[in-house]
């Protein structure tokens, strides 16, 4: 595999994951430039989440290679995890802790010193509009507030790369918009973001998109370029067309949650 350039946050060639006879990710080639907001779009079971877990070093590829921030995912998973932020579709939060206690716990896990920890926790509480909820138990938070808190737990150490696996699943349209405003700020600050989604309106906000189906990337480019190449007015139209070309029923990408 050719070495990732300084402009690449992620570079994968032939990335593959098999579970017995089932191929979840099928020889994926992927390059994501630093500072990009990159969207993975596809139905449940398409391979989105499995790809992200391999890039996080949480799952070993069956074949192919990938580099994340210049580190090999198979050889350096621990070093990768120290430099990235990862928020899964069903982030595990300790419900019996308060908001402040949970953020402080993750700050200590990341090894932040006392002064930096206090500053980062206070900064995120303000940034995510969590002020006044510091003493609220995590288990009593609504879905939208839990998502903001989970995001804070993933970014307290200011990672170079943020991987978000269907982060707005289960939230309402207003909460999704507010969550994406937080994502935009990370992009503006130079953080690379890889986000999986079912929602076409969210996909429109990405710098670059990849449609994935059956473990394979079947289209890639900016939202405008993908629509232009397909000769169709909306990403939903593109998705339906792509699924028809793959011989699949186009159910599920614009709503609902699930594993990808």
Closest listed residue to residue 59, CA positions, set 68, 107, 178, 247: 68
Write out the chain's pLDDT in tens, 260 residues.
544 456 899 999 999 999 999 999 999 999 999 999 999 998 888 999 999 999 999 999 999 999 999 999 999 999 998 899 999 866 678 999 999 999 999 999 998 999 999 999 999 999 888 999 999 999 999 888 888 899 999 999 999 999 999 888 777 888 888 888 888 888 888 899 999 988 888 899 899 999 999 999 999 999 999 999 999 999 999 988 988 877 655 444 443 333 45
- Using CA atoms in the order 86, 148, 160, 15, what is the torsion angle rounded to 10 degrees? 30
Gap between the Cα atoms of 37 and 197, Å rounded:
12
Domain spans, the chain: 8-69+76-245
pTM summary value: 0.85
Three-state DSSP class for residue 84 = strand
Q: Supply 240's token pair.
A: 């339906």
Report CA torsion sign: 130, 132, 136, 139.
Answer: negative
Which residue do the tokens 């594993």 mark? 259
> Phi and psi of 216, rounded to 5°?
-120, 145
* CATH no. of 8-69+76-245: 3.40.50.300
């Amino acid at each position: 595999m050719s070495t990732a350039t300084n402009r690449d946050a992620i570079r994968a060639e032939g990335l593959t994951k098999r579970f017995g006879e089932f191929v979840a990710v099928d020889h994926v080639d992927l390059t994501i430039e630093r500072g990009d907001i990159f969207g993975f779009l596809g139905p449940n079971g398409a391979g989105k989440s499995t790809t992200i877990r391999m890039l996080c070093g949480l799952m070993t590829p069956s074949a192919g290679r990938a580099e994340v921030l210049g580190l090999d995912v198979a050889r350096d998973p621990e070093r990768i995890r120290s430099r990235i932020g990862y928020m899964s579709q069903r982030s595990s939060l300790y419900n019996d802790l308060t908001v402040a206690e949970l953020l402080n716990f993750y700050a200590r896990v990341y090894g932040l010193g006392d002064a930096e920890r206090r500053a980062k926790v206070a900064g995120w509480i303000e940034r995510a509009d969590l002020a006044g909820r510091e003493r609220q138990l995590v288990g009593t938070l609504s879905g939208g507030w839990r998502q903001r808190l989970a995001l804070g737990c993933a970014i307290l150490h200011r990672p170079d790369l943020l991987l978000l696996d269907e982060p707005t699943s289960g939230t309402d349209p207003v909460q999704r918009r507010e969550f994406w405003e937080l994502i935009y700020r990370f992009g503006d600050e130079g953080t690379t973001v890889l986000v999986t989604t079912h929602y076409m309106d969210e996909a429109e906000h990405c710098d670059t998109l990849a449609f994935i189906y059956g473990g394979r990337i079947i289209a890639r480019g900016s939202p405008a370029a993908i629509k232009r190449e397909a000769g169709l007015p909306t990403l939903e139209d593109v998705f339906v067309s792509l699924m028809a070309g793959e011989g699949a029923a186009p159910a599920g990408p614009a709503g609902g949650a699930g594993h990808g």
